[in-house]
């Protein structure tokens, strides 16, 4: 089973990233040129049908009030009801020795990881979550990602007791060789969320695509 490769952004182009993490810049620059795979080798028939996302996009709700960004606080739980996800014990994903982003291990296939060199969900900028669609052991936490539609809600509970509620604005399925690094990691003026996994029919034991959910902060709940 090959090890997945996940690119990271160039911190020099993501001003929202914490200053204390800028020392990783040389590795991150290299990683930004890599191809994102998002999850490891998939199982056979036990994994169920492959995710197939029809690219869709929805505008932000008209007249919606601006939601103020939250202070930094680590994610501890992710809820995505339309995909049957209620993931606790969120992993902190750093960088591998080759500069690529870590992903949850096969043993952690039922958990979601947060890219710790970026912002936390609710802060200004794109917070990035990564989870497996399946592994060699079978279906994983994001196995039902194909059920997600624009307008669906993703709720991230944070360590300070607050919750950040996001609305899915766009769903995208792309070949891993064409991963949209800048679109995923580039600076934003508001709090946004990305959820990344794998998709597509199996090819030599691997899924050739990435499925990416783009979501905007629409509500917060205080601690």
Residue 44 is predicted with a pLDDT of 44
Residue 49 is predicted with a pLDDT of 56
Please tell me the total count of domains within the chain: 1
Q: Is residue 60 part of a domain?
A: no
Q: Is residue 119 part of a domain?
A: yes
The yes-or-no verdict on residue 56 having pLDDT over 80 is no
Q: Is residue 117 part of a domain?
A: yes
Residue 50 is predicted with a pLDDT of 57
The yes-or-no verdict on residue 187 having pLDDT over 50 is yes
Q: Is residue 207 part of a domain?
A: yes
pTM score of the predicted model: 0.81
Q: Is residue 189 part of a domain?
A: yes
Q: Using the Cα atoms of residue 220, residue 22, residue 131 and residue 202 in order, give the sign of their dihedral.
A: positive
Pairing of strands 163-175, 153-158: antiparallel
What's the CATH number where 103 sits?
Answer: 2.40.260.10
With contact defined as beta carbons under 8 Å apart, do 58 and 169 qualify? yes
Boundaries of domain holding 79: 11-49+67-221
pLDDT digits (tens, 9 = 90+) for 169-185: 999 999 988 999 999 99
Most confidently predicted of 40-49, 152-161, 200-209:
152-161
pLDDT digits (tens, 9 = 90+) for 198-218: 988 888 888 889 999 999 999
pLDDT digits (tens, 9 = 90+) for 96-142: 998 878 999 999 999 999 999 999 999 999 999 999 999 989 999 99
Residue 35 is predicted with a pLDDT of 36
The yes-or-no verdict on residue 146 having pLDDT over 90 is yes
Residue 41 is predicted with a pLDDT of 46
Confidence of residue 48 (pLDDT cuts 50, 70, 90): low
Q: Is residue 5 part of a domain?
A: no
Residue 93 is predicted with a pLDDT of 97
């Amino acid at each position: 089973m090959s090890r997945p490769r996940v690119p990271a952004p160039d911190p020099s182009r993501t001003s929202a990233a914490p200053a204390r993490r800028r020392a990783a810049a040389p590795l991150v620059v290299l990683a930004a040129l890599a191809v994102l795979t998002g999850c490891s080798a998939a199982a056979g028939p036990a994994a169920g049908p492959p995710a197939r996302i029809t690219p869709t996009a929805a505008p932000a709700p008209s007249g919606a009030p601006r939601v103020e960004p939250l202070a930094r606080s680590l994610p501890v739980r992710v809820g995505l009801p339309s995909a049957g996800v209620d993931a606790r014990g969120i992993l902190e994903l750093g960088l591998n020795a080759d500069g690529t982003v870590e992903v949850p291990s096969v043993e952690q296939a039922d958990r979601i990881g947060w890219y710790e060199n970026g912002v936390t969900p609710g802060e200004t900028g794109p917070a990035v979550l990564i989870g497996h669609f399946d592994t060699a052991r079978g279906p994983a936490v994001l196995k039902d990602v194909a059920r997600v539609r624009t307008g669906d809600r993703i709720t991230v509970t944070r360590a300070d007791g607050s919750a950040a509620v996001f609305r899915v604005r766009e769903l995208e399925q792309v070949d891993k060789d064409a991963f949209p690094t800048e679109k995923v990691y580039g600076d934003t003026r508001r709090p946004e969320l990305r959820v990344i996994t794998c998709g597509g029919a199996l090819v030599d034991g691997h899924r050739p695509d990435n499925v990416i959910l783009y979501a905007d902060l629409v509500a917060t709940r205080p601690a």
